[in-house]
Structure 1
Amino acid sequence: MNDRRDFLKKSLLTLGAAGLTGSLAQAFNFSTGAKAKISIKKGDVILFQGDSITDAGRKRDNLNPNDSNAFGNGYAFMAASTLLNKHADKDLKVYNRGISGNRVPDLLGRWQTDALELKPTILSIMIGVNDFWRTKDRGAVNTPEQYKAQYKELLDKTVSALPGVKLILIEPFGVNNVKHVKDDWYPEFPKYQQVVKELAQEYKAVFLPYQQVFDQALKRNANGAHWTTDGVHTTMAGANLMAEAWLNLVS
């Protein structure tokens, strides 16, 4: 537990040095060096990508944009429905292509069809918890360095095919002492979180620190089961918390 506390203290200092001030839940835009704000433009194509947290039970045979059945019941659905309401005049197309259990290599295997061919102008990626988790529960071998190299390959393919895309790289999170997330996740899991921050900086993307979002929420309700069912997958409250933080990126 002390390792986790030490990491959080170091993370806050690092983020502060990078210019992330104010609310711990505030995302940071490394392309501008300021608090993140993404302008929604007419005709934008917005894509949510990731694992089960993004998937959230969506009907995967429904590939349509702006369709509730294609979104499941998680943060992506909540954020997308708000976007389509608030920006009804902008003819947005919003997709969800999260798939439960995915790691970065899984994204690489389907990236051409499930990302590049959709030609998103705003691409939100939340991936990484399974890249670590499978090393704990299934004996997979995947170091933070390997995770970073795989993620860089994904991002290189993306910026090469979509040079103007606005990237949102989302920090994977865990709520400690809720079912699967225990003290033995630390200090290793935070190394994977740090990778995402470093990649956001390298690729001048928006970095959304969901770990800080949940840590801050725990100050309002310290029962982690209020926010997640198992330390990773969200309750209704947790999904809404995530959607709210994502929507704070948008102007």
Structure 2
Amino acid sequence: MLFTAEMFDMYRRFANYQGWDFETLEYNPSDTGGLRYGSAAVSGPQSYKTMKFEAGVHRVQRVPKTEKQGRIHTSTMTVAVLPQPTEITLTINAKDLKIETKRASGAGGQHVNTTDSAVRIVHIPTGVVAECQQERSQLKNKEKAMKMLRAKLYGLRLEEESSKRHQARKIQIGTKGRSEKIRTYNFVQDRITDHRIGKTQHDVRGFMLGEDLLEDMSRSLKQFSDQEVLMDILGEDGADE
């Protein structure tokens, strides 16, 4: 949870570095100062094309602040990146939604306000759930929860279409399953390794500032992805001949 909080901050800084908008939708902190889970809406030029390479399992190896014996711990956190659909590409029927309200609660379970402002929306046909308690206003929480729900449903649709297109040969970058480890942050050896392209950088703390080192890694991933897509197209053309 400590690493998750640091990763969330890294992406916030990266968005700022890129000149993108970063809107926190969910932020559920732990009692120890970590983050149980969080979500944000990022918007700006090339934001999805860049951020999609961050989706997957991120592994950290270090001696955490909570460790008394000085032992190295290995932990993981998962990043999901979904494109935000437009009204034209995705229509959600009101009758397919179950909307619930409850009191928002903070770390440790205490209620942070006395009104039923937290909103939970269930898309009945798919079972997809989105909830938000970030704002004090129930209306604003409902708007944010709907934005998250639309992104999740759109992501499901994209996964279906992409799996149909790439039945024969999966493109390795940008379509990784959420269970696959994509990058390791080794604080002890001060290195970051992206396992998809075998690229290693040094200066973990500098990388997690979310500036030029992360941008360099993103650029390398995009170049590799472009090559993968080109090879996939060439392979399909060769099969048609």
Flag whether TM exceeds 0.5 (same fold): no
Structure with the higher fraction of residues in strand conformation? 2
Using structure 1 for the length normalisation, give the TM-score.
0.24
Structure with the higher fraction of residues in helix conformation? 1
Bigger-Rg structure (1/2): 2
Using structure 2 for the length normalisation, give the TM-score.
0.25
Flag the structure with more relative contact order, 1 or 2, with Cα contacts below 8 A and sequence separation at least 6: 1
